[in-house]
Amino acid sequence: MISKQDIFSLIQDRKKLLFAIIIALLIKLIGDFAFYYFFGAFAFDKNIIWKFTTTIIITILIIAYFSLVVKPKVEKFDNLFVDKFINDIKNLAIIFAVGVGLLWLTPNTQKLLNEQEIPYNLIVQLFGWYFVVLSFLTARYFLRWVNVLKNSRTLKYLEFSKWAIIFVLGNIFVVKTLNYYFDIGIIVNILDTLQIFLYIYTFIVSYKLASDNNWLRYLNKSQKRQFNYLLSLTIIMASIILASTSGNLRASTDLIFPNIKDFVIYVIVVIVGFQINLIFQNRTSNKEELDQGTLTISALDRFNKYILKSDILDNTELLKKFISSLNEVIQIDFSWSESYFVEGKPSIITMNGVEEKFYNFLTNSPNYQSTLNNASNTIVIAGLYELGLNLKYNNYRKSIIIIPIFQGNLKTSTIIIGRNKEYAFSIGEVQIINTFVTNFAVAIQNNKLMQEAIEKQRYQFELNLAQSIQRKIVPENLPDLKNYSIAGKSIPANELGGDYFDFVYLRNKKPVILIADVSGKGVSAALYMAELKGIIISIVKYVDDIKELVLQLNDILVKNTEKQIFITLSAISINDDNGEVCYIRAGHTPLLVKQNGIIQQISPKGMALGLVGGKVFEENLEVKKLTLKSNDFCFAFTDGLSEMRNTENDEFGLFRIGDILQNSNFNDAKNVLDIIIEESNKFKKNRQLVDDLTIMSLMFKHRE
Amino acid sequence: MENNEKFSLSIEHFQTWIVIKIQGYLDAHTSPILENTISDAIKNDENQIIVDFEHLDYISSAGFGVFMEFIEEVREKEGDIVLVKMSDKIHKLFELLGFTYLFKIYTTISEIK
């Protein structure tokens, strides 16, 4: 048994419906054949009940099928529509061409079959069915275009055509059948006359429907030529079919059911009316269209200039500007936009002219939410019923357009604009919106790149500033002292370094040279280094020797630095003009001293600064006194020099440094540094420095 | 990823001690790995920590900093950080910095009591 549910599921499934239509058609044809075979009659009056029933069933099935196909739904809009449209017209031309061929075949079949009635009637009835299918296919294509057009005329048109089709079908099935049983010839004549007027009016309405002055703007030249050619061809063929309404077309369709041709004519009138207007539109370049084009371009231009000039490149501001620029070109009654910056709830960032009640009503609808979430393209919603919102329960007659904005593959925001009317947006306006969207996406991308560039520039600027400040921390020129020459150089591995060298005087005017290395690298090391310089400057005025200096320094650093930060430092005080110096080492790399032409490594006890205070530190700190003779020198460095590596990953090493110092003769302290740098550059080749490198040298030269 | 290739560690136990074996390059980029491991151990109340230097190739100043960060804390909790199996070169560095005055350094684990 077939239950109600089965029928319901049948009319919900396009494929099943199509199958049912074909089965019903076969049954009808077999029945027609059986009627003739048993009763020898093909004439209308002998089997009207059979014909009526079968034709009605098939027609209902076909209507159900097409109502599924053209069911109101949210259509994706894209500029590619124009290409699809040309394709549709091409298909239509082929369908019409076959129709014309069948018209020609109709009388010839009769001759071919030697006037035998049965095969002729069956075959020609099939031709008739072809015309029925032709009209439905035509209607389907047409409704598809109408659904994309969606302008204010569309709604009126759909309402009108619903009644027009009911009238035509009623005239065919009801009135003509009644006429057979009861002679109502006058009514039939009146209705037939009315039907002619209906056709004329339909023609006018369909003609007007195509008058949207933007929708063919995106055709290029060759597309335009192709389009005109196809349109003309279809119109000519449609006219041929129309011309044979009382001839061959009628002969074939009447075998299905009398006057079915009226329906075929109706559909052809609709399509011809529509297409004739298209040909005219395609020929003339509309002034209004040009004006709107100019308006669009100038609004876009202003929008672009705004983006280029503006300093505050805030995306919220851009969205606002986007909507206001768009509003210069097309009328927007209300709008809002939401952004999805991070996961979680979208944030509403702009809102203009939206009734709160309407907004809540719409955003609470699940269909709206899913449409919004899945939107990958501009979506036109001509009326809220397209979202399944029942008009019985709401009075909102509005159209909205959902515009998703993408950055790459990521949807960053959605703009919703709307008008307080159904079917209020034209296809041309949607095309303008899409142009804006493309532009906007590019603008956002540029904006992002620009922001990154600005940030990078700002960072670089601040870094340069910090670098130049840091350069001032280490002395540019060191003083010439009697009998001594001093030189120092610091090369940071990054923009900012953690190495330090300096020259200071103690309270008793004793000159001291210092070299230090802050643990870690980069900005934090640089900050500690600046701090170190500050501390040193403030305490040298109160101490008389380097041991006291280091003890004080450590005390302050232990209290003021984080546990894991420490500083290694070497200091040499110049005690007199005769070559007596004192060396102290706080965890630093050992001092190299050349005395009497022999290099020695000097490494007195000493812990790094900032680790521990008090006794442990003090007890493990030694001062080494050295007496230099003329041409003797001290060389201090940070591990950036000894641990420097070359492209083969070999370490420069203490031994190599000692070797260079041993085997060269030096004029003064600066000469020592120059040679060390020269040799180290030769050694490391193209390899980048990974650690800061600082070197200092003190040479004693008796000048008496 | 690159850091993990440069530096890795494994954990073992020896009597009441947790032994952290470190390997590769311990520098400013990789020291957080060791830092987290030690801090996790302390959170689990494992305050007796041995760090095995046998397979350590390089240690930078930031690497030294890791030990300084925790030594006080574990000693307050009556624990310690003991360093073992150090190469001569790394030992020399510890000496230069004066870390040898702060940490107990042994050549083998069995020396620890």
- Record: contact B101-A517, CB cut-off 8 A: no
Q: Are residues A50 and A143 in the same domain?
A: no
- Record: contact A566-B72, CB cut-off 8 A: no
Give B32 to chain A, closest Cα distance, Å: 12
Q: Are residues A83 and A158 in the same domain?
A: yes
pTM of the model: 0.50
**The pLDDT of residue A53:** 82
Closest residue on chain B to A520 (Cα)? B62
Q: Are residues A486 and A442 in the same domain?
A: no
**The pLDDT of residue A588:** 93
CB atoms closer than 10 angstroms to residue A302:
14
Q: Which of B64, B96, B101 minimises the CB distance to A519?
A: B64
Closest residue on chain A to B27 (Cα)? A520
Q: Is A463 contained in some domain?
A: no
CB of A150 within 8 Å of a chain B CB? The answer is no
Give B28 to chain A, closest Cα distance, Å: 6
Q: Are residues A18 and A127 in the same domain?
A: no
Q: Which of A517, A566, A616 minimises the CB distance to B65?
A: A566
Q: B19-66, pLDDT tens digit by residue? A: 999 999 888 788 889 999 999 999 999 999 999 999 998 888 888 889
Residue showing tokens 């079915």 = A260
The H-assigned helical ranges of A13-80 are 14-39, 48-69
Phi/psi for A646 (5° steps) reads -100, -175
Q: Are residues A526 and A655 in the same domain?
A: yes
- Rounded CA-CA distance A151/A157 in Å is 10
Q: ipTM score of the complex?
A: 0.86
- Record: contact A620-B69, CB cut-off 8 A: no
Q: Are residues A100 and A169 in the same domain?
A: yes
Q: Is A563 contained in some domain?
A: yes
Q: Are residues A260 and A402 in the same domain?
A: no
Q: Which of A519, A606, A616 minimises the CB distance to B61?
A: A519
Q: Are residues A551 and A637 in the same domain?
A: yes
Can you say how many angstroms the Cα of residue A350 is from the centroid of all Cα atoms in its chain? Answer: 20
CA atoms within 13 A on the CB side of A57: 15
The CATH number linked to A654 is 3.60.40.10
**The pLDDT of residue A69:** 65
CB of A605 within 8 Å of a chain B CB? The answer is yes
Domain count for chain A: 4
- Rounded CA-CA distance A652/A357 in Å is 77
Cβ-based contacts of B42 with chain A (< 8 Å): none
**The pLDDT of residue A150:** 67
Q: Are residues A314 and A273 in the same domain?
A: no
Length of chain B: 113
- Record: contact B99-A521, CB cut-off 8 A: no
- Record: contact B98-A563, CB cut-off 8 A: no
**The pLDDT of residue A342:** 57
CB atoms closer than 10 angstroms to residue A63:
13
Low-confidence ranges of chain A (pLDDT < 50): 1, 78-79
**The pLDDT of residue B2:** 47
Return the closest-CA partner of residue A329 out of A430, A423, A239, A443: A430
Can you say how many angstroms the Cα of residue A479 is from the centroid of all Cα atoms in its chain? Answer: 62
Q: Are residues A408 and A509 in the same domain?
A: no
Has residue B7 got a pLDDT over 80? yes
Domains of chain B as residue ranges with CATH: 2-111 (3.30.750.24)
CB of A568 within 8 Å of a chain B CB? The answer is yes
Cβ-based contacts of A616 with chain B (< 8 Å): 101-102
Q: Is A102 contained in some domain?
A: yes
A204 Cβ neighbours under 8 A, 6+ residues apart: A273
Encoded tokens for B93: 């560095």
Closest residue on chain B to A603 (Cα)? B96
Q: Are residues A517 and A443 in the same domain?
A: no
- Rounded CA-CA distance A609/A617 in Å is 9
Closest residue on chain B to A612 (Cα)? B102
Give the domain range for residue A168.
78-284
Q: Is A92 contained in some domain?
A: yes
Q: Which residues of B touch A (CB under 8 A)?
A: 28, 60-62, 64-66, 68-69, 72, 96-99, 101-102
- Record: contact B69-A589, CB cut-off 8 A: no
Give A576 to chain B, closest Cα distance, Å: 28
Q: Is A300 contained in some domain?
A: no
Closest residue on chain B to A521 (Cα)? B28
Domain boundary among A69, A91, A107: A69
- Record: contact B61-A587, CB cut-off 8 A: no
Give B11 to chain A, closest Cα distance, Å: 23
Q: Is A44 contained in some domain?
A: yes
CA atoms within 13 A on the CB side of B88: 0
Give A527 to chain B, closest Cα distance, Å: 15
**The pLDDT of residue B1:** 41
- How many beta-carbon contacts under 8 Å exist across A and B? 59
- The sign of the dihedral angle between the CA atoms of A366, A372, A375, A377 is positive
Return the closest-CA partner of residue A509 out of A536, A478, A484, A545: A545
Give, in degrees to the nearest 5, the angle at Cα A686 between A682 and A690: 100
Give A617 to chain B, closest Cα distance, Å: 9
Q: A608-636, pLDDT tens digit by residue? A: 999 888 888 999 999 999 999 999 999 99
Return the closest-CA partner of residue A673 out of A655, A691, A646, A693: A693
**The pLDDT of residue A11:** 58
Tell me the β-bridge partners of A380.
A75, A401
Cβ-based contacts of B65 with chain A (< 8 Å): 519-520, 563-566
**Exposed, middle or buried by CB within 10 Å (0-12, 13-18, 19+), for A86?**
middle
- Record: contact A564-B98, CB cut-off 8 A: no
- Record: contact B68-A589, CB cut-off 8 A: no
Domain boundary among A250, A284, A318: A284
- Record: contact A519-B69, CB cut-off 8 A: no
Q: Which of B60, B66, B102 minimises the CB distance to A564?
A: B66
CB atoms closer than 10 angstroms to residue A366:
9
**Contact in structure between B47 and B14 (CB atoms under 8 Å):** no
- Record: contact B68-A605, CB cut-off 8 A: no
Give B93 to chain A, closest Cα distance, Å: 9
A546 Cβ neighbours under 8 A, 6+ residues apart: A506, A512, A571, A572, A573, A582, A584, A623
CB proximity under 8 Å: A 24-63 to B: none
The CATH number linked to A315 is 3.30.450.40
**The pLDDT of residue A216:** 63
Length of chain A: 704
Cβ-based contacts of A566 with chain B (< 8 Å): 61, 64-65, 68, 97
DSSP assignments along A561-614, one per residue? S-TT--EEEEEEEE--TTSEEEEEEEBPPPEEEEETTEEEEE----PPBTS--H
